[in-house]
Amino acid sequence: MTAMEKQKSESPIEGLLEEKRLFKPSDEFRAQANVNDPKIYEEAAKDREAYWAKQAERLHWFKKWDKVLEWDPPFAKWFIGGKLNASYNCVDRHFKSHRRQKPAIIWEGEPGEQRVLTYEDLYYEVNKFSNVLKNLGVKKGDRVTIYMPMVPELAIAVLACARIGAPHSVVFGGFSADSLRERINDCQSKIVVTADGGYRRGNFIPLKDNVDEALKNAPSVEKVVVFQRGEDKKKVNMHKDRDYWWDELMEKAETYCEPEPMDSEDMLFLLYTSGTTGKPKGIVHTTGGYMTGVTTTTYMIFDIKEDDIYWCTADIGWITGHSYVVYGPLSNGATVVMYEGGPDYPDKDRFWRIVEKYRVTIFYTAPTAIRSFMRWGIEYPRRCDLSSLRLLGTVGEPINPEAWIWFHKYIGNEKCPIVDTWWQTETGSILISPLPGIVATKPGSATIPIPGIEADVVDNYGNPVEPGQGGYLVIKSPWPSMLRTIYGDEKRYIDTYWSKYKNMYFPGDGAKKDEDGYFWLLGRVDDVINVSGHRIGTMEVESALVDHPSVAESAVIGKSHDIKGQCIVAFVTLKEGVKGTPELENELKLHVGKKIGAIAKPEKIYFTAELPKTRSGKIMRRLLRDIAEGRILGDTTTLADPTVIERIKSQYTDKE
């Protein structure tokens, strides 16, 4: 085998680069951009520590750090000895400045209500809620679980936790009671902050019921704070001596709470994300490095200016919402738009109505949303005045060039730069993205690592691959907002991210670099499925399926999907005597939805007599993927019984 062939066979994803279009920043955009001197890349590369130290100056520090970085692979400490507070940076310093009366959050509820919170309002709300938490006995270091809809109180709860030094663990409101319980138990929260529910596509989703269900088996929780979002408090079942109404506690709370001077390396939050095993990982972020990362990237990549109206459509329950709805923009003193509900309610123009109404200038969303907009048709954006927009962004999954061009043409009116931003829950902030005033974009490429980040594409052995060859993305040196560990599981931290290569961070993504050094992200190379930009572990779905009394065994894979990017497909063997009917397929889908959350529901379930396994009993998902995608079967020589896969294939390929 030649070296070239060897490399080819080891590349996780095949295919050639075809996209050649190049979009240069306009002179007009370049001239006004926050960052427009390309020298920044070289300067940062020359001395990364000095570069990041300079960026850390964007924050307000109670005490400056003594040392920039301590790198004891795979453990990094940044800005050692520094003291700061994230809520002080996001709220107090603007409250004390000319921004006091500037809107911090412009919120729109799905039914149509509108609220504007100035930095002054936010300051008082955050201070009061910090005192509420303290009065309930929350101390520095205690974990607080937050399970709320997209209302301003979610951001307030997050910032209040940061203020008193209690790490928050926000659980996305779409997760089930079981998922919530698992996350509460993993970090042993004493407090849960929730709401009676929230509006989504015209329905009121009852969150408090899920909390009650979760708490049946979560003994660490002592108190629950309930924000009233619905119409009737009386409809909500409150447990005596455990559950308290948000507004009643706030009424009694003092209006000032001293921000806790946090050590740079004190935990700011943990956020659970799916991995390759059934158990979600609690990703740990610390204060100084994380705040430096999100503040810098928001300034440079979103080009935030004093009069921008910035809208990131992500839910705060995901990392994108943490970094680019709450911490990044507020630390920069920006005006943030926050919307509670669905993009197609009451009609498919809802997002564009919001852009028009608030004169949104910067709009950051996911490729899956763009593909839905494309399918719905251009009449919806055409109905609205989108002329306020000046910069667009995408995140969460690779964007296909068609969707990129559509976004550019119909939303950006061919004048807005698009920043395709690659990053992860673990990276804390964006690592690969154009700086819109400097880097020319290519549809489908996240372009190049931002200044201060050293990334590459390597083969199985860690050697850089030739341009155009597939390989694995790696980050070669530490960065301030990197995760510090997995909560309570240091071994898993080392195994997952730092074992494949020595001293290089392995994110789990396939990638290619082209001749210009541009990165093309090619999707996950592990057992994680990216559904509509959300990570779901195959094992999580498999465990939910085998939890059903009819299921003997299951194998779950990701299959490409026009809108969602990927969808979940399950192969299931049933227990003796159970028949694989369409009714059962439906029941199993609902069961997974109930166990994990609606986002984890399989699109399709195939019943099969057996699953393809190696002689050592490992399920060969790769072959199931081939069947689901309608591809020719890959290498089957390691199978214990090669006829199994042939049978599944003949059973299902005709029906697709």
DSSP string, 394-451: EESSPPPHHHHHHIIIIISTTTS-EEEEB--TTT-S--B---TTTPPB-TT--BSBPT
Residue 320 makes contact with ligand WTA by CB under 6 A: yes
> Looking only at residues 27 through 66 of this chain, which bind ligand WTA when binding is defined by CB under 6 A?
none
Q: What is the C-alpha to C-alpha distance for residues 654 and 656, in angstroms, rounded to an integer?
A: 6
Q: How far is the CB of 448 from ligand WTA (least distance, A)?
A: 13
Span from 37-45, 216-224, 378-386, 392-400 in contact with ligand WTA (CB under 6 A)? 392-400
Span from 4-12, 174-182, 218-226, 421-429 in contact with ligand WTA (CB under 6 A)? 421-429
Span from 325-333, 407-415, 416-424, 574-582 in contact with ligand WTA (CB under 6 A)? 416-424
Q: What is the C-alpha to C-alpha distance for residues 210 and 298, in angstroms, rounded to an integer?
A: 34
Question: What spatial distance separates the first Cα and last Cα of the chain, rounded to whole Å?
Answer: 37
Residue 273 makes contact with ligand WTA by CB under 6 A: yes
Span from 97-105, 312-320, 325-333, 619-627 in contact with ligand WTA (CB under 6 A)? 312-320
Q: How far is the CB of 337 from ligand WTA (least distance, A)?
A: 19
Q: How far is the CB of 432 from ligand WTA (least distance, A)?
A: 7
DSSP string, 45-72: HH-HHHHHHHHHTTS--SB--SEEEEEE
Span from 3-11, 207-215, 296-304, 418-426 in contact with ligand WTA (CB under 6 A)? 418-426
Cα dihedral value 267, 73, 59, 270, nearest 10: -30
Pairing state of beta strands 223-227 and 191-195?
Answer: parallel
Q: How far is the CB of 422 from ligand WTA (least distance, A)?
A: 4
Cα dihedral value 294, 297, 302, 305, nearest 10: 80
274 versus 372: smaller Cβ distance to ligand WTA: 274
Of positions 446, 486, 541, 557, contacts ligand WTA by CB under 6 A:
446
Q: How far is the CB of 521 from ligand WTA (least distance, A)?
A: 3
Residue 315 makes contact with ligand WTA by CB under 6 A: no
Q: Within 10 A of 121 (CB to CB), how many other CB atoms are there?
A: 19
Residue 424 makes contact with ligand WTA by CB under 6 A: yes
Of positions 365, 421, 481, 566, contacts ligand WTA by CB under 6 A:
421
> Looking only at residues 489 through 518 of this chain, which bind ligand WTA when binding is defined by CB under 6 A?
507-509
Residue 423 makes contact with ligand WTA by CB under 6 A: yes
Span from 173-181, 212-220, 422-430, 583-591 in contact with ligand WTA (CB under 6 A)? 422-430
Q: How far is the CB of 357 from ligand WTA (least distance, A)?
A: 27
Q: Within 10 A of 626 (CB to CB), how many other CB atoms are there?
A: 18
Q: How far is the CB of 531 from ligand WTA (least distance, A)?
A: 11
Q: How far is the CB of 249 from ligand WTA (least distance, A)?
A: 32
Q: How many residues touch ligand WTA (CB under 6 A)?
A: 22
Angle value at C-alpha 219, between 215 and 221, nearest 5 degrees? 70
191 versus 473: smaller Cβ distance to ligand WTA: 473
Q: How far is the CB of 58 from ligand WTA (least distance, A)?
A: 21
196 versus 420: smaller Cβ distance to ligand WTA: 420
Best CA proximity match to 610, nearest among 567, 632, 639, 586: 639
85 versus 372: smaller Cβ distance to ligand WTA: 372
263 versus 420: smaller Cβ distance to ligand WTA: 420
- Sheet of strand 103-108: strand arrangement: 114-118, 103-108, 335-339, 309-312, 362-365, 391-395, 418-421
421 versus 538: smaller Cβ distance to ligand WTA: 421
> What count of Cα atoms within 13 Å lies in the side-chain half-sphere of residue 340?
27
Residue 341 makes contact with ligand WTA by CB under 6 A: no
Span from 108-116, 240-248, 420-428, 477-485 in contact with ligand WTA (CB under 6 A)? 420-428
Q: Strand ranges (DSSP E) for 99-148?
A: 103-108, 114-118, 144-147
Of positions 56, 312, 521, 555, contacts ligand WTA by CB under 6 A:
521
Q: How many residues does the chain have?
A: 656
Q: How far is the CB of 446 from ligand WTA (least distance, A)?
A: 5
Residue 447 makes contact with ligand WTA by CB under 6 A: no
182 versus 397: smaller Cβ distance to ligand WTA: 397
DSSP string, 513-557: E-TT--EEEEEESSSEEEETTEEEEHHHHHHHHHTSTTEEEEEEE
Q: How far is the CB of 93 from ligand WTA (least distance, A)?
A: 26
The dihedral of CA 230, 234, 240, 246: what is its sign? positive
Residue 397 makes contact with ligand WTA by CB under 6 A: yes
Q: How far is the CB of 442 from ligand WTA (least distance, A)?
A: 13
Residue 420 makes contact with ligand WTA by CB under 6 A: yes
Residue 395 makes contact with ligand WTA by CB under 6 A: yes
Judge whether 138 and 191 are in contact, CB under 8 Å: yes
Structural tokens at position 630? 């309608």
Structural tokens at position 486? 């997995």
Write the interaction track for ligand WTA spanning residues 527-546; mark x where CB under 6 A is met and - where it is not. ---x----x-----------
187 contact partners, CB below 8 Å, separation of at least 6: 143, 145, 169, 270, 282, 487, 488
92 versus 420: smaller Cβ distance to ligand WTA: 420
Span from 230-238, 338-346, 389-397, 566-574 in contact with ligand WTA (CB under 6 A)? 389-397
> Looking only at residues 614 through 643 of this chain, which bind ligand WTA when binding is defined by CB under 6 A?
none
Cross-strand partners of 485: 284
Q: How far is the CB of 179 from ligand WTA (least distance, A)?
A: 15
Q: What is the C-alpha to C-alpha distance for residues 282 and 182, in angstroms, rounded to an integer?
A: 11
SS3 106: strand
Residues 229-249: b if buried by 16+ CB within 10 A, e if exposed: bbeeeeebebeeeebbbbeeb
> Looking only at residues 290 through 309 of this chain, which bind ligand WTA when binding is defined by CB under 6 A?
none
What single letter denotes the amino acid at residue 177?
Answer: A
Of positions 85, 425, 481, 485, contacts ligand WTA by CB under 6 A:
425
Span from 77-85, 314-322, 345-353, 372-380 in contact with ligand WTA (CB under 6 A)? 314-322
Pairing state of beta strands 519-524 and 509-513?
Answer: antiparallel
Judge whether 567 and 631 are in contact, CB under 8 Å: no
Structural tokens at position 523? 């999707």
DSSP string, 165-232: T--EEE--TTB-HHHHHHHHHHHT-SEEEEES-EEETTEEE-HHHHHHHHHTT-TT--EEEEE--SS-
Span from 149-157, 202-210, 289-297, 417-425 in contact with ligand WTA (CB under 6 A)? 417-425
Residue 396 makes contact with ligand WTA by CB under 6 A: yes
- Interface residues with ligand WTA (CB under 6 A)? 273, 318-320, 395-398, 420-425, 446, 507-509, 521, 524, 530, 535
